[in-house]
Structure 1
């Protein structure tokens, strides 16, 4: 069985982060609100850590600025709005 990957989503606004958290929880995707690591962003103070296996593009909503995959202690950019 394929295991879930750990992701961290960064947002333009706090309300966007809360909206995405609710979206994930409603779709039974494990998620937690966390402070954004300073090396990822300085715009919005909170982000969403979540665990997911599957097509990441199915989770993209308008509020997301960036999504990173966590590998060890590093974050690797997987999605950036406008790219």
Structure 2
């Protein structure tokens, strides 16, 4: 499955990218799509078949499942 992960800070996005690489997960950092909201202007697009719960930490603001051209919110920091 493909996910779009939004972050509170740029440094959080960079840490997330390192964590993905360490776990052999392809991660592409990019500007946040205009249709989504974020406190910072960088997001990560990842493709994983397993659960992404282990990748979510305090730096992650929101996670969207990219499904049939739509972004479905599946996680948001409280």
Tell me the TM-score normalised to structure 2 length: 0.92
After TM superposition, give the deviation of residue 56 of structure 1 in Å. 2.1
- Deviating beyond 4 angstroms after TM superposition, the runs of 4 or more aligned structure 1 residues are none
Where in structure 2 are the equivalents of 1:1-80 lying within 5 Å?
5-80=1-76
Q: Structure 2: which 5+ runs fail to align?
A: none
CA distance in 2, matches of 1:49, 1:7: 6
Q: Note if contact 2:8-2:38 (Cα within 8 Å) is conserved in structure 1.
A: no
Alpha-carbon RMSD? 1.0
Report the number of matched residues.
78
Unaligned runs of 5+ in 1: none
1:42 offset after TM fit, Å?
Answer: 4.2
